[in-house]
Structure 1
């Protein structure tokens, strides 16, 4: 189960926002995130706001979930009026545990409420075992044009440690099926540094994603969160903790293999074969756009106001059935808050950030340590070198 919600000031019962927050909604882009909290089983490393059927209790079901989300969308429509929706992202959980028609109804509701921009990017996450060719065709017909599949590894032993249910070859097969169904963009997610993973295991995973013909790869080091089953196993000494040195080696291996295959990094943990293949939804997050998060536990940001919904699906549904905002708490970001967050996110991007936006002493030190591109620095931009990407968090601490 996920941890406790953040504190914050109360959200008004009608979900209204300050006038100054809504005055320029979407001026830097507008996105919609839809959280689907259902999972068939819980992965040992996961601390996301997700629930298996035995954890849900009354008042929340997959069958009624789309209608509940549409209730929040109606409240959102009365609260803000962006010019258009640039991207939509269904995450979770496993969105594809819902019927494809339900996902389509939610997407149609977003279009009816605010209007999808021409060529809007519409993504859903999926577990490889949760989709088949017929389901993928229905999603594509509903307007989804991008899919992100949780592969994690091509090694059966690693999948077992992660408590993943799909077989090693299923993710590349699902990626092929998605392409055949007409999806314009397909991503495969990898996790590296899992206890017991060898260099050969990860090399096989990289060969597998490259061979799948996808145009986007995300690769993240395993992070062990307190309260997860994996954290408990490590605490008891059943499996070792991840190694930072191993994670660095894996990252270098990913960069080498993906670069040779025609991928180009555009964010520290993300590679794409072209600018068009980059995840536009995440880029909106990383560059200061507004977004509304629908669903239990979902976070939103509009005009410097950030808020988050109640976490449990039953509590979320009850709030909406009572005609009350599902918002649990919110915070009004100061100019300094927004600046710090902007720096933290943009430093991780290949596009970098203007030097006049960061602490000059910290930037000079990072340059001296070989963490910044010297040519870009001379042109007034902070862009990480490969070594800088390995130490991105340290660079961010130095330049904020």
Structure 2
């Protein structure tokens, strides 16, 4: 079970995806195998979390969607997000980020993050500024593609998307700050090894110093400016703005993956693709519900957070099991997102589930996690991606041109290697 469920997730990189291992895992159809194995485990073991040991650690695989919701909603007590593995990984580039903060610092850092990202609001208060940043980078990318006649591959896409992310976090001046993103990339590569790899203190210091300097220069309408306004320096709240901004840059990489896979959905044979592309060409304003739903479907179908981890702070009782304190609870996202025994749309592109309440009412669907430690960018990320994609695609006819061809209307693959995707954007 460890080989078929946990090893593929670790191999491709939990913090930074490894292109070669991602290609191998996709080729082996490992995600579909893992879902089948976990379904079999539940049939044999029952609904209770399945105890196991790995690397000398007590762990439990969560097998029930209702239990997954319980673990996430009862965070941070008794299920802490700041477990040893996560703290070891994030210490490489954001040692004081909200996710790995202790109980004394977490509430005020979380509050500062929420003040900046504004979860629960589909269109961010600074949506106009955000849209301008997205438009500028997307239109520059489209123009470059038209001038050289090339296709859109992952490396070209992510370079423009990262520039947009820096604009959104700090302001337009940061668009060309490639060094900060490069440092973060290298630190995340080490973070794949969590506490097994020593922290590169020199690189981390340089990275956080650059982020701090960008925060100090943050422009009106940027996330960093909202963060420092919510918890200004010297007021005793200690939000560690450089660590929070570092986390946003890290999270925007997952957003880039979701955005690029969304292009695969928008060029698929599904009826939902046609409806979303109509919205691109006809809908004005910042509110793009079908495009935002497409982004969420991308993350449901191919999770960017492969496993959600929580570590129990005390003994916890289940139906038949009692699990001791210090147990690491493992929630394998794809297992719940692709559970065809529960979800009739498990392997289909069904953006409507995000508009009619079905996704919200399903406890196992957690593309942005759930509960008190859910991603505070749950609304900002789909907004940013939808605006970027609209600017990139409006008036153009995107087509998938790599060897995989367009995705089918149903029976979507369990894995989608974003490194291998390639698109044309004809006018």
Give the TM-score normalised by the residue count of structure 1: 0.24
Per residue, is there more strand in 1 or in 2? Answer: 1
Q: Comparing both structures, which one devotes a greater share of its residues to helix?
A: 2
**TM-score normalised by structure 2 residue count:** 0.23
Q: Point out which structure has higher relative CO (alpha carbons under 8 A, 6+ apart).
A: 2
